[in-house]
Chain A
Amino acid sequence: MISLSQEEKNYKVLFLGRIFLGLVFAYSGFTKLMEPVENFQGGMAAYEVIPYGVIPFLAHVIPWIEFLFGAFLILGYLPRVSALVLAAMSWSFVLLILTTRIVTGALPADCGCFGEGSLIHLKPLQVLLMDICNTAIGIRLACLKDHPFSLNLLLKNKDD
């Protein structure tokens, strides 16, 4: 039986974390990009603490950030920056959910993360937990200097 060193085990766990975080964001961004932007605008407007004036802008920008940085993380291109961006986004979602709950005393019935046709329907509290985990994963990944099976490593090795 082959025994793995602690470092190798960590690498594997972190690689899986990277793929998970990347997939969640890439899928989430992709599904939003495939739909009319008004759907996402309506979704954001339900979190009543976001000023309505910025919602149309955010509704156009956020799905692209989610999709591109999610894909970057899966591929391992700029993994530390991508992980940091996604961790920051996850943390901002955590703050958004908490602020909405405190200010309005209620939360949207469904987070709306994956659409009505999706098999997954998460409630805001479930999303809150997932976002806390995602923040932790993102920060840990951002602290990792070398990412296994990454485009970054490939580019670095070619240069050596």
Chain B
Amino acid sequence: MKINLRSFLTGVLLVLFLAGTVFFIKRNRPAPLPPSQPAPEVSVSRVTLKVLGPESAPVKLVEYSDFQCPSCRVVQADIQGLLKNYPGKIQLTYKHFPLTSHQWSAYAHQAAECMNAQGKFWAYHDKLYEAQAEWSPSKVPPVEILAGYAREQGADMDRFGACMADVAVARAIYAEKEEGNQRQVNATPTFFLGEERFVGPKEMQERGENAVRKVLGLSPKPPAPKKPEPLAPVPLKGALK
């Protein structure tokens, strides 16, 4: 009984100490930035904002995404559905978040940013996701394929080529990613709707539309029947040990 009591008290003290340490560190860490504010130490001046939808839209959705991520491709249909179902009510802002685990992401993001400089970001964005299965498994850097897509969309190829070699553009992309890091983004796609965060297509499908409806003052929709199409996996962060 004596041993049990001592052991029990030791356990209680240990749990209190460990939990207290976690709460203390968490409380004293800098809080993640709210999505509406730009990160203070990050310069994204070389990257023009990639915004779809009117400035007056009541729903401001921010997406941190990676062009080589299968889940980011899957979620595009849901986002398009939202934009279609609530016309003029949603403004979507795209943020670069190239994952280190995807070897060609950096090239794709640079190409997209180069198209953004020519005012053709969204068409190129759609093309990169549509053709992900074509350029993603490439054995060599898919620069030619990416340039081919740009050519198809009528880009000025001299400007595009110069931009692809511009280190400042790459730096700006990673500065935008750093902005995501400061908001504790660690998986793609991650969406912010105000303070609310949605990670991965499943969360967006399950909760996204009702969160949008809540902002618009509409009643929540009943859960949709399960989609037959399986979701492509998310490149995870912070999942299972």
List A residues at the B interface (Cβ < 8 Å).
24-25, 28-36, 38-48, 52, 64, 66-68, 71-72, 75, 77-78, 89, 93, 96, 104-117, 121, 127, 151-152, 155-156, 158-159
Q: Which residues of B contact A111 (CB under 8 A)?
A: 236, 239-240
B237 touches A39 (CB 8 A): yes
Q: Which residues of B contact A93 (CB under 8 A)?
A: 240-241
Decide if B92 is an interface residue (CB 8 Å cutoff): no
**When A46-B233, A111-B239, A112-B187 are in contact, do A155 and B199 touch as well, CB less than 8 Å?**
no
Q: Which residues of A contact B203 (CB under 8 A)?
A: 38, 41-42, 45
B186 touches A151 (CB 8 A): no
- What's the count of A-B pairs with C-beta under 8 Å? 167
**When A39-B199, A77-B11 are in contact, do A109 and B70 touch as well, CB less than 8 Å?**
yes
Decide if B76 is an interface residue (CB 8 Å cutoff): no
Taken together as a complex, chains A and B put the C-alpha atoms of A121 and B26 apart, in Å, by 24
**When A38-B203, A39-B199, A42-B234 are in contact, do A116 and B186 touch as well, CB less than 8 Å?**
yes
Decide if B202 is an interface residue (CB 8 Å cutoff): yes
A40 touches B198 (CB 8 A): no
Which residue on B lies nearest to A89, using beta carbons? B241
Decide if B123 is an interface residue (CB 8 Å cutoff): no
**When A42-B234, A48-B231, A108-B235 are in contact, do A155 and B10 touch as well, CB less than 8 Å?**
yes
**When A116-B186, A117-B186 are in contact, do A155 and B237 touch as well, CB less than 8 Å?**
no
Q: Which residues of B contact A43 (CB under 8 A)?
A: 187, 199-200, 234, 236-240
Decide if B219 is an interface residue (CB 8 Å cutoff): no
User: DSSP majority for the A interface?
Assistant: helix
B241 touches A24 (CB 8 A): yes
Decide if B100 is an interface residue (CB 8 Å cutoff): yes
List B residues at the A interface (Cβ < 8 Å).
2-3, 6-7, 10-11, 14-15, 18-19, 22, 25-26, 29, 32, 69-71, 99-102, 181, 184-187, 190, 197-200, 202-203, 206, 230-241
Which residue on B lies nearest to A97, using beta carbons? B240
A31 touches B235 (CB 8 A): no
Taken together as a complex, chains A and B put the C-alpha atoms of A79 and B198 apart, in Å, by 38
**When A42-B202, A121-B100 are in contact, do A106 and B6 touch as well, CB less than 8 Å?**
no
A-B pairs with beta carbons under 8 Å apart, 26 shown: A31-B238, A35-B184, A39-B238, A41-B200, A43-B236, A43-B240, A44-B240, A46-B239, A47-B239, A68-B15, A68-B18, A72-B14, A78-B11, A104-B233, A108-B235, A108-B236, A109-B233, A111-B236, A112-B186, A112-B240, A115-B186, A116-B99, A116-B187, A117-B186, A155-B6, A155-B7
